[in-house]
Amino acid sequence: MNQISQIEARRRNFVLAASLAFMVIGTGAVYFVVVALKPISNEFDWPRAIPSTAYALQYFGGGIGGIFMGYCLDRAGLGIPALLGACMIGIGAILTAHIEAPWHLYLIYGVMMGFLGRAALFTPLTANITRWFEHKKSVAVGIVGSGQALAGAVWPPIFQHFFNSVGWRETATWYGVFCLLTMLPLVLILRQKPPAPSAYPHNGIINDHEVVRGEPRQIMSANRLQLILMVASIGCCVAMALPLAHLVAHVSDLGHDSARGAEILSVTLTCAAIGSFFGVGFLGQRFGGLCTLFIFSVTQMLFLLALAFSENLITIYLVAAMFGVGYGGILPSYPVIVREYLPSSEAGRRTAIIILSASGGMAIGSWLGGTVFDLTGSYNPAFLIGVVFNFANLVIIGALILRLRSRTIGL
């Protein structure tokens, strides 16, 4: 490897590490409201649908804002999205400590944390990293995508500890300060532009699902495939959001300590990080994004179904861990699919539009969980509804896989 190649390899590794760190730190905002759901509801005597709606607005706002961030990425690189995201997440967390009315929470989480904050995380970070690792994109996306789950493994126990010692308001303030002090320096690394595609070495071996000379494999028109992926993403993400938004409260409602709920959520997301970090890279390199998505979606559906019938604490730990493995590989599979089958020059925007639909599914799922609980006094009916949505995702992705295989056989 010559000196120029070594320098480029170091740059890629720095960007990969910075992307992962940026994702882990910024995604803590998502899990703050998950752990704070009951404390906030109890302090203000609000129904759980209110903090659940704030959680939903963060995903919905992030999905819409992701289109803007994806456009900025395609035109000018990651600098502007990263800077906006760092500032808005940090300032938004600090302002969360001063809420007094539901609309305060909605505004902060919908606009600051969502439209301008979360929008700068998953979509631009994963789309950008595929341009740095052209021929190992599934591995790189898996690593960066694992940051969402790593955040869930790291932050809930930390938040729960500080809620118990200093309260949720003080914790929100210090989390915001931490975000500003750590994420803003990372912007200096993330703003770098990736090398041109011709700068990447290639081993001459191309699988059916891989990009050839920057051009994606066509299985149908780009717009039609994007629309199908948008619909599919709603199904898996409704199912995904139900436990993620309500697992801590669900465990508490079953008579277990709230700290155990935070631990179970942490275990879930640790396993999700493992699924994303290793699973997406391993399966994606061998079978492509569509098959990888199908495998992880099956896993998620089966263990969401099991969660609806689990009450023993040890059983919940085990089921939640396996649910996490399935959940962790789903969202990172979509940017891989985009780079395999959609125009690479539009990867940022097209990934953003699909993640917008996924965010809509997350928003529906989180809102649905709170609403169903308020109506029935239990989360189990909501989990079963999530299984139905997840099954719809499997039908759609399975049909795409069959279409791909039929076209491959016909070549």
Render the burial of 100-135: b for 16+ CB within 10 Å, e for the rest.
Answer: eebeebbbbbbbbbbbbbbbbbbbbbbbbbbbbbbb
Average pLDDT, the chain: 84
Give the residue with greater pLDDT, 293 vs 152. 293
For 345-397, the pLDDT digits (tens) are: 777 778 888 888 887 888 788 888 888 888 898 889 999 999 999 999 999 99
pLDDT score at 96: 92
pLDDT score at 111: 92
Residue 214 has pLDDT above 50, yes or no: no
Ordered by where they begin, the domains of the chain are: 3-192+211-410 (1.20.1250.20)
pLDDT score at 343: 79
Which of 127-141, 214-228, 243-257 shows the lowest mean pLDDT across its residues? 214-228
Spatial contact of 241 and 361, defined as CB atoms under 8 Å apart: yes
Residue 8 has pLDDT above 50, yes or no: yes
- Beta bridge partners, 215, equal 212
DSSP for 316-373 reads HHHHHHHHHHHHHHHHHHHHHHHHHHS-GGGHHHHHHHHHHHHHHHHHHHHHHHHHHH
Q: Which residues have C-beta within 8 Å of that of residue 75, sequence separation ≥ 6?
A: none
pLDDT score at 42: 85
HEC string of 99-162 equals: CCCHHHHHHHHHHHHHHCCHHHCHHHHHHHHHHHCCCCHHHHHHHHHHHHHHHHHHHHHHHHHH
Residue 216 has pLDDT above 60, yes or no: no
pLDDT score at 262: 75
Confidence of residue 219 (pLDDT cuts 50, 70, 90): low
pLDDT score at 208: 43
Residue 311 has pLDDT above 60, yes or no: yes
For 140-191, the pLDDT digits (tens) are: 888 898 888 788 778 888 998 899 899 889 999 999 999 999 999 999 999 8
pTM above 0.85, yes or no: no
Confidence of residue 86 (pLDDT cuts 50, 70, 90): very high
